[in-house]
Amino acid sequence: MMAKTIKQIQQGLAQKKFSSVEITQHFLDRIDSHNSTINCFITVTGELALQQAKSADLVIARGEAQALTGIPLAHKDIFCTDGIKTSCASRMLDNFIAPYDATIIEKFKLGGAVMLGKTNMDEFAMGSSNENSFYGPVANPWDFERVPGGSSGGSAAAVAASLAPAATGTDTGGSIRQPAALCGISGIKPTYGRVSRYGMIAFGSSLDQGGPLAHSAEDCAILLQTMAGFDPRDSTSIDRAVPDYSEQLNADIKGLKIGLPKELFAEGLDSDVAKVIETAIQEYRRLGAEVVDIQLPNSNLAIPVYYVVAPAECSSNLSRFDGVRFGHRCDNPIDLEDLYKRSRAEGFGDEVKRRIMIGTYVLSAGYYDAYYLKAQQLRRLIKQDYEKAFEQVDVILCPVTPEVAFKQGAKTDDPVSMYLQDIYTLSLNLAGLPGISIPAGFSQQLPVGMQLIGNYFDESRLLNVAHQFQQVTDWHLKAPEVG
Ligand code: GLN
C-alpha cells in the first residue's frame, strides 16, 4: 500500500483512499512477513488493532476524527499497556500483564490511535545495540547482520522497515536518538518533564524521557503533540502549556544561530560520518543559518558521570523486582533469601546485573561521596556548559553516534566500547535538555544521523530546524529493501 508516514495516512484516511482497518491490516501483514527476520516486535496485538481500527473508521465516518484517529502505532515494551504483556524485554517480566495503561498509552487511546503491538528493546532499556533482550537481538533493516542501535531498537527497526508508520521510545542516554540514527529515521527526546513517565518502567528516573520515532520531523511533531503535557501522576512532570508543534514547522530559519561544539567533532568520530555532518552543516548555511564554534569543555565527563548516575538509579528502581509481588519467581525456594536470590539471578540478564552491581557499589556508604556525589557535582558542570552555550546560540549541532551501525556481536564482550557509543547522546540527558536525531546521509550504504540539541522546552524549534532540513534533502525518504 501507498501510505508510509503518519502525514500520508492522515491524508489517505481523510480522502477515503483507504480505511483504518485496511491500513492497519497492511501493517499487520508486513509484520507477519518480516518480524521473523527483524525481530522488532515482542508482542503483536493484531486482534485489538483491528478492533480499534474498526471503531476509528466509525469515528472518521461521523466526521469526528482527531489527528491520530485510525493511525497504527507501535509501542516500546517499556510502556504499561492494560491487559497486555509488558516485558521490558526481560525474563523478569515475561509473565507480566500490566493492569493499567501508561499515561502516554492512555493519551494515544483517547486520541483514537491503533496499537499494532509492543516492540523489542534492550532489557530494561540498558544497551546501545538491542542485543540485551531476553527475546533475542533485533536486526537492522539496512543490513540484517548489523545492530539497529538501542535501547529502542525494535521501535526504530519497525519504523525503518515500514512495519509501523511510527513508534514510541524512551531515551535515558540516547535510546531514541541513537537507534533513529542507525536506522535512518527521525526521533526526538523531549525536555525532561515534558512527557509523563507514569507507567513507563523506570530505569534512571532523573534521566528517562519518552518520545516518538518516525519517518520525519513532521510526523514526530504530530506524535509529540499527543505525548507531551502535564501529568499529576508523575511528580517530575512539568506544568507548562504545550505549544502547537506542527504550526511552527515552516518558520524561516534565516539568521538561526547553530553552535558546533568542537569537543564533539574530535578524535573518535569516524571520518565518513564527520563528512556527512559537514555536508549537512553546509545545507544549513544555504538555508541562511549562521554557524559558530562553541565549547562544551566538560563533555568528556558525560560517559563516566552517566555510568555512575544511571546504574545508581537503576539499582534502586530494579530492587522492586524481588520475586514476591510480581514478575519472575524461581521454583521451590527453600527460604526467603533463596527466593530473592534465585528469582533475581534467573530473571535478570548479564548487563542488568552488571548495572545493579555498579549502582549498588557507588551508592554504598563507603563509596557514595567518592562516586555518586562526585558524579552529581560533575553533572552540574555539564549542565552549566550547555547554559553558557545557549547564551550564544539557538541550537547545537553534532553527531549522534561515532560510527554507523556495527555488526551484531562486535561489542558484546567489551562493555566499555559499547558505552563509548553513547558519547554524543548522554550529556543532554544529564542536563535534561531536548535533542532530535534526523537522517543526514549515508556511509558504507548505511544511514548516518545528525543531532540537534535545543534549550529547555525548545522542542518546537528543534522540530522546525529539522523539518527545514527535510524540506531540502531526501535522506529521510530513503528506505531499506526488506521486501
Ligand atoms: N545506551 C545507554 C545505556 O545503555 C542509554 C540507554 C537508554 O537511553 N535507555 O544506558
pLDDT tens digits, one per residue of 14-26: 999 999 999 999 9
Separation CA 266–CA 232 (nearest Å): 43
Centre of ligand 1 to C-alpha 147, Å, is 14
Separation CA 158–CA 160 (nearest Å): 6
Name the residue of 147, 175, 353 to mutate for ligand 1: max ligand atoms within 8 A of Cβ. 175
For atom 10 of ligand 1, which residue has the closest CA?
126
CA-closest candidate to residue 346, choices 95, 176, 1: 95
List of E strands, 251-329: 257-261, 290-294
Between 70 and 2, residue with greater pLDDT: 70
8 Å CB contact between 243 and 434: no
Separation CA 461–CA 453 (nearest Å): 10
- Residue 5 backbone zone (phi > 0: left; psi -120 to 50: alpha; other: beta): beta
Residue position matching grid coordinates 563528512? 275
pLDDT per residue as tens digits for the range 76-106: 999 999 999 999 999 999 999 999 999 999 9
pLDDT per residue as tens digits for the range 437-469: 999 999 999 999 999 999 999 999 999 999 999
Least confident piece of the model among 55-69, 158-172, 197-211, 415-429: 415-429
Q: Provide the pLDDT for residue 316.
A: 97
Q: Provide the pLDDT for residue 483.
A: 77
Distances (CA, A) of 211 to 208, 275, 289: 10, 28, 27
Between 419 and 206, residue with greater pLDDT: 206
Identify the band that residue 1 occupies on the pLDDT scale cut at 50, 70 and 90: low
Q: Exactly one of 7, 76, 107, 118 is catalytic; which is it? A: 76
Q: What mean pLDDT comes out for the span 271-299?
A: 97
CA-closest candidate to residue 421, choices 71, 9, 130: 130
Look over the chain and give the mean of its residue pLDDT values, rounded to a whole number: 97
Separation CA 178–CA 155 (nearest Å): 12
Instruction: Identify the residues whose C-beta falls under 6 Å from ligand 1.
Output: 125-128, 151, 171-175, 203, 310, 422
Q: Which own/partner contact pairs does 13-20 have at CB distance under 8 Å and 24+ positions apart?
A: 13/60, 13/65, 13/69, 13/70, 13/71, 14/60, 14/65, 19/53, 19/57, 19/60, 19/70, 20/53, 20/54, 20/56, 20/57, 20/60, 20/69, 20/70, 20/71, 20/72, 20/114
The percent of residues above 70 in pLDDT, for the chain, comes to: 99
CA-closest candidate to residue 172, choices 310, 358, 360: 310
CA-closest candidate to residue 234, choices 189, 188, 193, 173: 193
For residue 345, pLDDT over 90 is answered with yes
Separation CA 256–CA 253 (nearest Å): 5
| Active-site residue, 175 included | yes
Q: Exactly one of 133, 175, 186, 216 is catalytic; which is it? A: 175
Ligand 1 atom index nearest CA of 422: 1
| Active-site residue, 76 included | yes
C-alpha cell at position 403? 560510527
- Residue 439 backbone zone (phi > 0: left; psi -120 to 50: alpha; other: beta): beta
For residue 2, pLDDT over 70 is answered with no
Q: Which domains does the chain have, with CATH numbers?
A: 6-255+436-449+457-477 (3.90.1300.10)
